[in-house]
């Protein structure tokens, strides 16, 4: 029986592939206020602007490639049962070959209905551009498959269940500021070995039993290999 590793990944790992982090120091995302592009109210007020914004994010994702940290998680599958829970809306974990991924905040390579049955079917987006004329089966315009502020997180229960029997938890590239995702670290068992990887990891509010790696995701790989592939 393979030991189970659950990886909770955030924007920091994608940033090392050149993807803009969700929110920079002045509270903006690509020079837009969050309220303009990442809420249901924004979609209702100006769906064309929101669609254009996520088209550009999708284009950026398609122009990016997985980095060494993404590939390391795939490598772990040779010896462990690995499940990735990611807060990122890109598909870099998939493209690196990871086989089990839970997207807490959606996957920008997909779209969904803007009508009442949003979570019943997801539609792959060919290329990077989604038009306001693209429709779901019920005739509503398609919107990005992204969880916005003020919306429920459909995969939260699945993520909690996944963490319950984890032998290891690796928190990587997230400052643990976005809830409810940040609260997931509290759902592991007392016997779970916990690691956190972030350049500012020593400043984060985590339990004292976390093994801390104050480095970027890519920079941490040599030390992580010593933990999970001991000589």
Which pLDDT band holds residue 5 (cuts at 50, 70, 90)?
very high
Q: What is the pLDDT of residue 226?
A: 96
Helix axes 68-76, 221-228, angle to 10 degrees: 10
**Is 186 assigned a catalytic role?**
no
Give the sign of the dihedral formed by CA 62, CA 70, CA 27, CA 40.
positive
Rounded average pLDDT over 102-130: 97
Average pLDDT over residues 212-217: 95
Tell me the pLDDT band of 28, cut-offs 50, 70 and 90: low
Sequence-separated contacts (24+) of 227-231 with Cβ below 8 Å: 227/195, 228/5, 228/76, 228/79, 228/80, 228/168, 229/79
pLDDT surpasses 80 at 23: no
pLDDT above 60: residue 192? yes
Q: What's residue 123's pLDDT? A: 98
Q: CA 93, 97, 101: angle at the middle one, nearest 5?
A: 50
Residue written as token pair 């972030």:
198
* pLDDT greater than 90 at residue 29: no
What does the pLDDT look like over 145-187, one tens digit per residue? 999 999 999 999 999 999 999 999 999 998 887 778 889 999 9
DSSP assignments along 93-114, one per residue: HHHHT-S-EEETTEEEEEEEES
CB 203 within 8 A of CB 179: no
Residues 70, 93, 105, 145: which is the catalytic one? 105
Q: Could you give the 3-state DSSP secondary structure of residue 76?
A: helix
Q: Is the pLDDT of residue 228 over 70?
A: yes
Q: Tell me what the pLDDT averaged over the chain comes to.
A: 93
pLDDT of residue 151: 95
Residue 43 has pLDDT above 70, yes or no: yes
């Amino acid at each position: 029986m393979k030991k189970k590793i659950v990886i909770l990944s955030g924007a920091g790992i994608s940033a090392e592939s050149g993807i803009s982090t969700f929110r920079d120091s002045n509270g903006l995302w690509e020079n837009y206020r969050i309220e303009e592009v990442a809420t249901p109210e924004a979609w209702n007020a100006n769906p064309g602007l929101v669609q254009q914004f996520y088209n550009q994010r999708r284009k950026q994702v398609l122009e990016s490639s997985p980095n060494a940290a993404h590939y390391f998680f795939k490598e772990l599958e040779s010896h462990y049962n690995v499940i990735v829970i990611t807060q990122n809306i890109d598909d870099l974990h998939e493209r690196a070959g990871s086989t089990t991924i839970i997207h807490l905040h959606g996957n920008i390579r997909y779209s969904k209905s803007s009508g009442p049955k949003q979570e019943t079917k997801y539609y792959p987006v060919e290329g990077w551009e989604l038009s306001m004329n693209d429709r779901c089966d019920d005739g509503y315009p398609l919107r990005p498959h992204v969880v916005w502020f003020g919306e429920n997180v459909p995969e939260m229960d699945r993520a909690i269940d996944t963490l319950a029997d984890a032998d290891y938890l690796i928190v990587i590239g997230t400052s643990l500021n976005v809830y409810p995702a940040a609260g997931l670290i509290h759902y592991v068992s007392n016997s779970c070995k916990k690691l956190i990887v972030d350049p500012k990891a020593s400043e984060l509010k985590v339990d004292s039993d976390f093994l801390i790696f104050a480095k970027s995701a890519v920079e941490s790989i040599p030390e992580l290999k010593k933990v999970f592939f001991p000589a």
